[in-house]
Structure 1
Amino acid sequence: MMRRRTTLLASCTALALALGATACGGGPVAAGGGGKSLSGQTITVAGVWSGSEQKNFQKVLDAFTAKTGAKTQFVSTGDNVSTVVGSKIEGGNAPDVVMVPQVGVLQQFAKEGWLKPLSKTTEQSVDTNYASVWKKYGSVGDTLYGLYFKAAHKSTVWYSPDALAQAGVKPPTTYDAMLKAGHTVSDSGLAAFSVAGQDGWTLTDWFENIYLSQAGPEKYDALAAHQLKWTDPTVVEALTTLGKLFKDKQLMAGGQNGALNTDFPGSVEKVFGPKPEAGMVYEGDFVAGVAKDQFGKKIGQDANFFPFPAVDGGKAPVVSGGDAAVVLKDGKNQKAAMTFLEYLATPEAAAVWAGAGGFLSPNKKLDLASYSDDIARETAKSLVAAGDSVRFDMSDQAPAAFGGTKGAGEWKILQDFLRDPSDPKATAAELEKAAAKAYQG
């Protein structure tokens, strides 16, 4: 039945694209033009995506071409978006649109004077179709520069149903219950968690989920803006909570040394690979793509998730990340670029990638039936239902020197904490020292 529903949806989407409608039976879409209105024009879109993500985004570009006649060209920037885009601007070869993966980078681009404010049509779509928090993260001051097209749900704990069933435990709803369940899993023969400590960004995500639930959204916002110092007692408390996991050798596959030598793909492999070493791995919804594409797991059967559990009586957190589309002032085809963003703001555009998989949209007008599987529908529903309580990845809001540099700042300090979690106060002091320097710079 699911396969037939997907086929019907795909047929409906194709018909909608041909007719310039949002969906079968839907009304016309003003955003994105119509009637091949951009024939003969070309836009260049730059972004970090490669592999399956680039392939699926190309389907969105192709749908835009079918709708408007505009040709598109995608340029992969690699991870260092700001350096690549800056060099292209200096060389007189600026892309028209950039998919920016971090709030901090979007703010940097705006302050450099590289960005065009988005059109009134796009802004109206954002006001109507998105929770207001997404407009906040796409704006600098009162000006909207970025449209969040693709989102990540970073409050999901993925597990092997067989491992939990063998241990006789069910998905927990509190952090302490999760650690208790982890001990039961460990007693049954597997480590509880696979932790990707070789990648510092995964450790920031652990901290952010704990901090948001334990300290609350107002403190989270203040810390993200460095209006609250990292030496604040709430930070020490969150590090202490995280340390319960890090110092318990029974809970982590390979212990601390094993975690520090495991990267993100390796952490997924230790749960869903041919030789499982752990029952659970925490990370965002993109774990499903690795489990499915690399290890052939059926999502919802061989791999499933539960929401990151509430900490110390707080609310269950919803931490997100995402990619925002921006228009560069130095691009050669700004009119077509603006029309492209108007298209990306529609449910029609989001439905193209949702049907292909590996995608979540913050657009609340996107029909959940557009997603290709039940797990994607569940994570998307959770993201949209969180509304304005969603908080963007804190490290992605920080200057890159603190929140986004391998071997430095928050990444390195949390790796050091994983290696030795005995002194949360000292770790908090190191975090504050690094943050003060980066934010001042």
Structure 2
Amino acid sequence: MKVTSKRFAGVAGIAAASALVLSACSGGGEIGGDTGGDSESGDAGGGTAAEGCEDFEQYGSFPGTTVSLFSSIRDSEADDLQATFDKFTECTGITVQHNGVGEFEQQLVVQVEGNNAPDLAIIPQPGLLKRMVATGKVQPADEATTAKVDEGWSPEWKTYGTVDDTFYAAPMLASVKSFVWYSPSAFEEHGYEVPKTLDEMMALTEKIAADTAGDGATKPWCAGIESGGATGWPATDWIEDFVLRVAGPDAYDQWVTNEIPFNAPEILESTNAVGDYLLNDAFVNGGIGDSRSIATTSFNDGGLPILDNQCYMYRMASFYEAQWPEGTTVAPDGDVFAFYLPAETADEAPLLVAGEFVARFADTPEAAAVQDFMASGTFANTRVELGGVTSANKFVDPALASSDILRLAIELLQDPNSVARFDGSDMMPSEVGAGSFWTGTTQWIDGQIDAETMLTNIQDSWPKG
């Protein structure tokens, strides 16, 4: 749930779409081989591991060793994660023992502060990483892992794993949040076109509202922000996406660190732009109720009225693909698909993303080898081919993606014109990002407070000093 990351809020996991055929292993190798990326080991071509153990020699040979890996990843997604280590274990002798739990953040803090830290942890929040680094228990990434990240990832991803100018945590997987789900057939039937700018999206919204004015149950948009103890996070995603577009990437960077206060004019302008959609009863909440119903509608169910032609658009991340009922065709010509949430101009490409980072607590060569492997193109391609996930690693072959929407997400992540920024609330102090920001947006959507009051309340909650 969002207590660890919005990436996992309410998502039980995505079933694997394909099986990876693993070949027999031969050979080993000493630590300190190819410490660069994977271009020399076949990853630039975007495939799974080659026959034998040639691609794994760089990680060394440590027969009989075990490395513990702790995360919030569970169910079928955990099975797929474990499967990515099959060949690695066969070739290096390192057994990776993964443990995924629901209360990951709280348990990680308890374990680390109790001197019982796992060897490695998959951390989905840069803010949590900073807290862990402050304990003095996180090991800086070694040269091999650093080289992998420098070659295979764009600079901002390395930044998110860096604390006080020291690189600690290698990026692993990623998801794209800047998506709007829709029905391609409904758009075609009514002559609606996918918008390329924010102005076009508002014009489309107004047109749909006019076309459906006689039908009180049908609206341009549907929305839901209820998520149990994490209620409100989908509304924070809306605001983050619009700050990135309306205020711009530089202002976004300053906002998430509070260099620009929450109630600054540019943040208020961006928030009001979201309110133009979510607070307008003529625009929302198709098939469900008025705008206030958004606060009590589960994000899992929020987009489903699209299938009944009761709403036309639903803003939600790529992982929402798993929420559509069995039998729903998710494709450009299917029952539902998603388009990129546009920017102010068609030439801009801001992209709100989330992801996970592998931090190492154990100062052992086998733990370092696992962290190095998880930063590689080999790992990323293997995991993507198993299905249900995306990665921003440059060596990932989009053709390996298990669905059209995940393929589109990978293409956006790899687009050199994209200006990617990490989920803002995951970078803020937990008192704000997983506290006052969630509750404030819920009160705002529910009509209890206006935007200016909400932003001022959040600013007042920011930890002093």
TM-score by structure 2 length? 0.82
Map 1:123-134 to 2 at 5 A: 123-134=146-157
Report the equivalent of 2:137: 114
CA distance in 2, matches of 1:327, 1:84: 16
Q: Quick one: distance in 2 between partners of 1:121 and 1:71?
A: 20
Shift of 1:182: 3.0
Which one of 196, 204, 211 corresponds to residue 236 of structure 2? 204
Matched, 1:343 2:373: yes
Greater displacement, 54-63 / 114-123 = 54-63
Aligned residues of 1:413 and 1:430 also touching (Cα < 8 A): yes
Larger displacement relative to structure 2 (376-385 or 56-65): 56-65
Deviation at 1:103, TM superposition (A): 0.6
Mapped to 2, the partners of 1:67 and 1:381 lie a distance apart of 31
Q: Which amino acid in structure 2 is aligned with residue 426 of structure 1? A: T
Aligned to 1:70: 94
Structure 1 residue runs without a partner (length 5+): 1-5
Distance 1:350 1:412 in 2: 36
Aligned-residue Cα RMSD (Å) equals: 2.7
Give the structure 1 partner of residue 277 of structure 2: 245
Cα distance in 2 for partners of 1:19, 1:388 equals 41
Question: Counterpart in 1 of 2:252?
Answer: 220
Aligned partners of 1:201, 1:122: CA distance in 2, in Å? 32
Equivalent position amino acid for 2:329 in 1: K
**Partner residue of 1:296 out of 320, 324, 327:** 327
Distance 2:275 2:147 in 1: 45
1:269 matched to 2:299 = no
C-alpha change, 1:341 and 1:25, in structure 2 (3 Å) is: closer
Q: Does the C-alpha gap of structure 1 residues 248 and 61 become closer, same or farther in structure 2, counting only changes over 3 Å? A: same
Are residues 1:327 and 2:357 paired?
Answer: no
Instruction: Tell me if the contact between 1:45 and 1:73 (Cα under 8 Å) persists in the aligned partners.
Output: yes
Report the residue type matching 2:344 in the other structure: V
Q: Is this contact kept in 2: 1:191–1:252, CA < 8 A? A: yes
Superposed counterparts of 1:10-409, under 5 Å: 10-11=20-21, 14-15=22-23, 22=42, 23=47, 28-29=54-55, 33=59, 37-81=61-105, 83-186=106-209, 187-188=211-212, 190-198=218-226, 199-253=231-285, 254-272=289-307, 277-291=310-324, 294-300=325-331, 301-311=334-344, 315-328=348-361, 331=362, 334-386=364-416, 389-405=419-435, 409=436
Amino acid at match of 2:112: I
Q: Which moved more, 1:206-215 or 1:24-33?
A: 24-33
Per the TM alignment, residue 387 of structure 1 is displaced from its structure 2 partner at its CA by 6.4
CA contact (8 A) 2:113 2:135 kept: no
| SS of the residue 2:339 aligns to | strand
Question: Cα gap change, 1:433/1:91 in structure 2, threshold over 3 Å: closer, same or farther?
Answer: closer
Structure (1/2) with the larger helix percentage: 1
Query: What's the CA shift string for 1:108-139, capped at 9, x where partnerless?
Result: 10111120011100001111111111111100
Letter in 2 for 1:322: G
Q: Which moved more, 1:275-284 or 1:67-76?
A: 275-284
Identity %: 26
1:419 aligns with 2:449: no
Counterpart residue identity of residue 98, structure 2: F
Per-residue CA deviation, residues 17-71 of structure 1 (Å, 9 max, x unaligned), is 778954577994367625xx22211111111112232122122133432332222
Letter in 2 for 1:225: T
Structure 2: runs of 5 or more not aligned: 1-16, 29-40
User: Quick one: structure 1 residues 239 and 314, their matched pair in 2 at CA, closer, same or farther if it must change by over 3 Å?
Assistant: farther
Task: Tell me what 1:430 maps to.
Answer: 457
CA contact (8 A) 2:263 2:455 kept: yes
Quickly say closer, same or farther: Cα 1:16–1:373, change in 2 above 3 A. farther
Judged with a 3 Å threshold, the aligned counterparts in structure 2 of structure 1 residues 19 and 153 are, in CA distance, closer, same or farther, namely farther
Name the counterpart of 2:4: none
Q: Tell me which moved more, 410-419 or 392-401.
A: 410-419
Classify 1:87/1:306 alpha carbon distance in 2 versus 1 (closer, same or farther; 3 Å): same
* Equivalent-residue separation in structure 1 for 2:246 and 2:347 (angstroms): 5
**Alignment CA distance shift 1:48-1:383 (3 Å):** same
User: Residue 116 of structure 1 aligns to a residue in which SS?
Assistant: coil
Q: Cα distance 1:393–1:16, how it changes in 2: closer, same or farther (>3 A)?
A: farther
Greater mean alpha carbon deviation, residues 295-304 or residues 99-108 = 295-304
Higher alpha-carbon deviation: 18-27 or 258-267: 18-27
Q: Structure 2: how far apart are the matches of 1:374 and 1:246?
A: 28
Q: Give me the whole-angstrom Cα distance separating, in 2, the residues matched to 1:421 and 1:170.
A: 35
In the alignment, the residues of structure 1 paired with residue 26 and residue 460 of structure 2 have an alpha-carbon distance, to the nearest angstrom, of: 56
User: Is the Cα–Cα contact under 8 Å of residues 163 and 185 in structure 1 kept in the other structure?
Assistant: no
Which range is displaced more, 368-377 or 184-193?
Answer: 184-193
Kindly tell me: are residues 312 and 416 of structure 1, through their superposed partners in 2, closer, same or farther at Cα, counting changes over 3 Å? farther
Structure 1 residues 95 and 48 mapped into 2: Cα distance closer, same or farther (>3 Å)?
same
> Which amino acid is the alignment partner of residue 55 of structure 2?
V
User: Structure 2 vs 1, CA of residues 216 and 79 (structure 1 numbering), >3 Å: closer, same or farther?
Assistant: farther
Q: Structure 1 residues 89, 110: closer, same or farther in 2, change over 3 A?
A: closer
Q: Secondary structure at the match of 2:356?
A: strand
CA distance in 1, matches of 2:412, 2:191: 26
TM-score by length of 1: 0.87
Q: Which amino acid aligns with 1:336?
A: E
